[in-house]
Structure 1
Amino acid sequence: MLSEKIMDLRKQRGWSQEELASRLDVSRQSVSKWESAASVPDLDKIIRISEIFGVSTDFLLKDENEQKDLYEGSLSSVLYEEHQQYFIKEITEEEANAYIQLVENVSKKIAAGVSACIFSPVILLILMGLVKSSRLTMHEDSAAAAGVIALLLIIAAAASVFITWGLKLEKFEYIQTQPLALTERTEEAVRKKQNDFEPDYKRFITVGVMLCIVCAVPLFAAVMFHASDSMYFYCTAVLLMMVAIGVFFLVWAGTIHEGYEKLLGEGDYSPEKKIEKKRNDNLSKVYWCTVTAVYLGVSFLTGRWDISWIIWPCAGVFFAAVCGIAAMLRKR
């Protein structure tokens, strides 16, 4: 039906009814009536709709609603021809609710795991500080060994959390990789939850960033007051604990916020960007294999392993430029 096609095409662009209405110079109520089949747009509006979405008027008026045509309307024809395997995935309200609930559970676990990895050297630092201040009657090597054991155990526990909860998200992998289509009711429900979470998101991000900024204060205070060597260990431990707490808030809030963006097809998860990211996968493999070969070749030939590492940060920055150039060439 024409009403369904207009609604599906609008959602694939991530537009609201108001945005489509402004492009057609009509009221939002008119678009709403079209999508609910309460009225039919005039012929000139149908032609305008076909121009906006890049589809033919035959596609809009015929009763055929093949996924191929829907996909071709939501993305450029070039992307469609090269990526015919990427069709629109329809998401039910039950799927959306199940995904949001899982993301909310996983976000805390992943955030705790990341924070644990940052926290892992704290025990080692405290033990070394106690030994340096002679408050712990233990050989320095023994204290270091005990601290490293604690570090490895914490990282192992965090890794198990990443694997366990990461696997649970695999069944929803299509939400991250495929273009999605949500019903009006589902989109409204998801957007309401996103809006309800927005104040918490801003609060957690603010707290997390502030903790990461002020975490170095104890260490600089130790330098300013010419503290003992043991105090430097303690201050570094405090620094890591503050970073761990800050990162917990950042990862927790960021994961949930990202989950809403994936469902709604916003930001880095719009249909076009999902396909663009997939197209860059092969480029990424070739690029990083080449960088690795260059790094090893330069390092072995010069023997300057102490400075050859600079290839990696330079390659990371240059990769963004390569992806940008590739995107521009594809648009030609």
Structure 2
Amino acid sequence: MDTIKKYLESMFEHLPKTLEVMRAKDELYSMMEDKYNELISEGKKENEAIGIVISEFGNLDELAEGLGLSKVLDDLVSSDRRYVSRQEADDYVDAVVSRRFMLSLGILLCILSPAGPILLDSIATATGLNLFTGIGVAFLFLCAAVGVGFIVFSNYITKSWSFLNKQPCYIDDETIDYLKSEKEECQTGNGMLLAVGIMLCIVSVIPVIVLDAALNVPIISDGVGPSMMFTLAAVGVFLIVFSSGRNKAYKKLLSLNKKVFAREILQQFADAPDNGPEKSVKIERVTGEVVESDYKDASYSSYDKPEQSSDSTEKKVKNFIKVMVKDYWKSVLCIYIIWSFFTFSWGSSWVIWPLAAILRKPIEQYFLGGKH
């Protein structure tokens, strides 16, 4: 019977998990079980009985009318929903992790870039060789250039997965259980990376304080100490940013079915007679805030609202902020470079990275409603 159960699951894995479908699934399983037991009582071998049951009940298209699934199958064929297999889910998680690694590495290099000039300039001062100063400046621009390159390139790693945001997609129950299990297993590791990253950012100032107080050697206090601070901060931010990549991928995949079925419910309400604001309340109760906001965007844009000037300064500012938040790390990088070069406060400007990592989620939820 385990073989029959697995085959039954494969027959229904692409169908929406509605009461109608689940009732039909239970009914079909009962029919298959009765037939299997009948064949066994007649003296058929287990494998032979399983083969007969599958050949008789294994075509869902032929059984759809009797099970009351004709409309469900017709809707599924005409739907633009895309099925995401378990292998594709794994590939997507790997792509997101790779993207986050490249992004984290780019940020690390940008934060680390001032460490070279600081250390080598102190060596140049101690030795009288200005060559070290030039090497330090070259190191700064090289690190910054490579870091920016990694950050820009990271956006292209998941380009092939843009369909997850552009069209309704769904995953089956087996994939859902698998992703939930994987998500639970990675929680401890992600938490450890985050904790170590925050710890390194906090203790990064210790080398400057200790070496400056303990040793009265300029090359140590003015060069080694500050360069160690940038190194610890860079590694800490790297761990903070990288730690959330895998978890973010799992959350994205596990939210696919919710979005698909929410859109279907939304469409049913949208096609029904209009009940004004009362209608949006019903949608919120059934599908949640995300769909309600989508519905308002689609259907209430022309609802009785005071006219607002599209050229208003306030609207332009809000749109600009939303664009900046969508390209969050690029915006942080621009602020970091502009602030550091104009103020030359490399000793403190690195603080923007751990702060940006901590504040990213609330900022995105506030300005983008958690949809990014």
TM-score over 0.5 (shorter chain): yes
Q: Give the alignment of 1:263-274 within 5 angstroms.
A: 263-265=253-255, 273=290
Give 2:227's aligned residue: 237
**Alpha-carbon distance in structure 1 between the residues aligned to 2:99 and 2:368:** 35
State yes or no: 1:112 paired with 2:90. Answer: no
Amino acid at match of 2:238: F
Shift of 1:257: 1.7
Shift of 1:110: 2.7
Match of 2:180 among 191, 194, 199: 191
Q: Is the 8 A contact 1:209 1:250 kept in 2?
A: yes
Q: Is the 8 A contact 1:215 1:243 kept in 2?
A: yes
SS at match of 2:17: helix
**Alpha-carbon distance in structure 2 between the residues aligned to 1:198 and 1:174:** 27
TM-score for both structures, normalised by structure 1:
0.56
Give 2:194's aligned residue: 205
Match of 1:169 among 158, 162, 173: 158
Go from structure 1 to structure 2 and tell me whether the alpha carbon gap of 1:36 and 1:116 turns closer, same or farther (over 3 Å shift): farther
Count how many residue pairs are aligned between Structure 1 and Structure 2: 237
**Alpha-carbon distance in structure 2 between the residues aligned to 1:288 and 1:190:** 36
Give 2:237's aligned residue: 247
**Alpha-carbon distance in structure 1 between the residues aligned to 2:175 and 2:16:** 17
Go from structure 1 to structure 2 and tell me whether the alpha carbon gap of 1:254 and 1:3 turns closer, same or farther (over 3 Å shift): closer
After TM superposition, the structure 1 stretch with the greater mean CA deviation from structure 2, 142-151 or 183-192, is 142-151
Q: Give the alignment of 1:93-132 within 5 angstroms.
A: 93-132=86-125
**Alpha-carbon distance in structure 2 between the residues aligned to 1:275 and 1:173:** 23
Shift of 1:35: 6.9
Shift of 1:6: 5.5
Go from structure 1 to structure 2 and tell me whether the alpha carbon gap of 1:187 and 1:2 turns closer, same or farther (over 3 Å shift): closer
Shift of 1:210: 0.8
Go from structure 1 to structure 2 and tell me whether the alpha carbon gap of 1:218 and 1:260 turns closer, same or farther (over 3 Å shift): same
Give 1:22's aligned residue: none
SS at match of 1:7: coil
Q: Give the alignment of 1:1-332 within 5 angstroms.
A: 7=17, 34=22, 37-39=25-27, 63-64=71-72, 66=75, 89-132=82-125, 134=126, 136-139=127-130, 142-176=131-165, 180-225=169-214, 227-230=216-219, 231-265=221-255, 273=290, 286-287=316-317
Question: Which sections of structure 2, spanning at least 5 residues, go unmatched?
Answer: 1-10, 29-67, 263-288, 298-309, 322-341, 344-351
TM-score for both structures, normalised by structure 2:
0.51
After TM superposition, the structure 1 stretch with the greater mean CA deviation from structure 2, 97-106 or 196-205, is 97-106
Question: Which sections of structure 1, spanning at least 5 residues, go unmatched?
Answer: 9-30, 41-59, 71-86, 292-304, 307-312, 328-332
Report % sequence identity.
17
After TM superposition, the structure 1 stretch with the greater mean CA deviation from structure 2, 149-158 or 106-115, is 106-115
Give 2:32's aligned residue: none
Shift of 1:186: 1.5
Go from structure 1 to structure 2 and tell me whether the alpha carbon gap of 1:273 and 1:242 turns closer, same or farther (over 3 Å shift): farther
Shift of 1:158: 2.4
**Alpha-carbon distance in structure 1 between the residues aligned to 2:165 and 2:215:** 51
Amino acid at match of 2:137: V
| Cα deviation digits, residues 236-283 of structure 1 (max 9, x gap) | 1101110111122222221222111111129xx998659969x7xx99
Give 1:75's aligned residue: none
**Alpha-carbon distance in structure 2 between the residues aligned to 1:177 and 1:198:** 29
Go from structure 1 to structure 2 and tell me whether the alpha carbon gap of 1:243 and 1:275 turns closer, same or farther (over 3 Å shift): farther
- Flag the structure with larger Rg: 2
| Cα deviation digits, residues 1-50 of structure 1 (max 9, x gap) | 99977627xxxxxxxxxxxxxxxxxxxxxx8992772159xxxxxxxxxx
Q: Is the 8 A contact 2:13 2:172 kept in 1?
A: no
Go from structure 1 to structure 2 and tell me whether the alpha carbon gap of 1:222 and 1:63 turns closer, same or farther (over 3 Å shift): same
Go from structure 1 to structure 2 and tell me whether the alpha carbon gap of 1:285 and 1:100 turns closer, same or farther (over 3 Å shift): farther
Give 1:298's aligned residue: none
**Alpha-carbon distance in structure 2 between the residues aligned to 1:192 and 1:217:** 40
Amino acid at match of 1:240: F
**Alpha-carbon distance in structure 1 between the residues aligned to 2:254 and 2:103:** 22
Q: Is the 8 A contact 1:180 1:265 kept in 2?
A: no
Amino acid at match of 2:25: A
